[in-house]
Amino acid sequence: PPVALSSGPRRVKSSIRIGTRGSQLALYQAELVKTRISQDFPLVTVEIVKIKTSGDMIRRGGTAPFETKRIYTREIEDALLKSEIDLAVHSAKDLAAIMPDGLKIGAVLEREDPRDCLVSRDKKKLSELPLGARIGTSSLRRKMQLLRWNAELIVEEIHGNVDTRIRKIDDGEFDAVVLAYAGIKRIGFGNCVSEIFPEDTFYPAPGQGVIAVQSRVNDQEVDEILEPLHHALSGKRLDCERAFLRRLEGGCQLPCGVTTAVHNGRITARGALFATEGHEWVEQRIEGTLDQAAHLGENLANLILANGGRVILEKIKQNVRPTLRHPERSEGSQL
């Protein structure tokens, strides 16, 4: 039953169960949310529940560009809808563009650095890698941007957690890998980074670097607990970026990127969509007030579609391969 806390008149649940994937990064993020809740509500018992998702057993290259079937979140979201857990912690970029009925993003933690980074042998930067260098990534967005920078690179699929991917460099399988800087920082591998790519030349994924806490609609007791965790500016930026992805009908593997910034109450967004064949891309920029965040994201996508992006999307749809799954562990799109 709810208990009244001596620190104020609010009534909240006496215990909270946090659902999460079992990867090192996912557990770090869940522990961060647990710590924040415990600090704000010391009388609430917080438990972390590990849940295996279909995305944890996915074949190399198995995620299609328009995959919106919640491959890294479905089982966790189902547990949330069944009240087997009280909230779920995700890397925001793993969330489907359209939220399942009955669920919402209840809180967004302050955003970590959204940029991508390079980890390479001998700490070489991208410009210092030899022609034909082999670079590992599980992301179409990163692959197409790497080839835009240098068409002579060999970009191949790589899966596994951070130390597994880095070990493949040491073993000579790859010359470098590209990862999300936020994820690699969070689990203490920041010293391995050779280069951090600027957002204006290497577009991050929508929501990259954001920890999102998912909850049930109309769960007021959980809303009370999540309210102190929410970082409003990060939430507005995420609203913009998710609206951008939603308008492009994209899943976590659509080769699009977006970067947002807030200054003096205004939000600026720049986005790009990359072809999966050839070296075509469309990029656009838009600016407006914070209360227009989601509307701006949608309009940014409309600008891209109207200026060549629709043709790129149609070509991608024609070449989409079916999603295949295989019992091979993956750290997920969050890296």
The residues that are catalytic are 94
Two tokens, residue 298: 């949608």
- Helix (H) or strand (E) segment spanning residue 255: none
Q: At what angle do helices 232-247 and 293-304 cross, to 10 degrees?
A: 30
Q: Provide long-range contacts, Cβ within 8 A and 24+ apart, for 73-76.
A: 73/214, 75/51, 76/19, 76/20, 76/21, 76/51, 76/214
Closest CA to 32 of 223, 192, 238, 231: 231
Give the chain's largest Cα–Cα span: 65
Through-space distance between the first and last CA atoms of the chain, rounded to whole angstroms: 39
Provide the strand spans (E) within 228-308. Answer: 256-263, 266-274, 281-289
- Helix (H) or strand (E) segment spanning residue 175: none
Q: How many CB atoms lie within 10 A of CB 15?
A: 11
Q: 170 burial class (0-12, 13-18, 19+ CB within 10 angstroms)?
A: exposed
Phi, psi of 177 (to 5 degrees): -135, 155
Q: 29 burial class (0-12, 13-18, 19+ CB within 10 angstroms)?
A: buried
Phi, psi of 319 (to 5 degrees): -110, 10
Pairing of strands 176-180, 15-20: unpaired
